[in-house]
Amino acid sequence: MNAATLRSFPGRGTLFEETYLEGKAESKAESILSVLEKRGIPVPEVIRDRITTCTDLDTLTLRFDRSLTATTAEDLFADA
């Protein structure tokens, strides 16, 4: 989610916003894991935990993009 969207988000700074953003992060994490699974790439539990506990949407978007071309689950964290 970009900064402009966050500035204009109805209910900004509320529990509603927090819950909404948590849901987006969970959905993005599930998408990453799904892509890796469909591509036949094994995901060790430690990597799965790193993906599912991340709440930063920009980071998750980067990892999703990497999941499309990664050859291992570890490739998602090449810069970490």
- Across the range 9-22, mean pLDDT stands at 66
pLDDT at 3 over 60: no
Give the pLDDT of residue 50. 95
pLDDT in tens, 24-58: 889 999 999 999 999 999 999 999 999 999 999 99
pLDDT at 79 over 90: no
Averaged pLDDT score across all residues of the chain? 85
Task: Please report, for the chain, the start and end positions of each structural domain, with discontinuous segments joined by +.
Answer: 13-72
Nearest to 28 by CA among 57, 4, 6, 2: 57
Nearest to 68 by CA among 36, 43, 40, 44: 36
Among residues of the chain, what percentage have pLDDT more than 70?
75
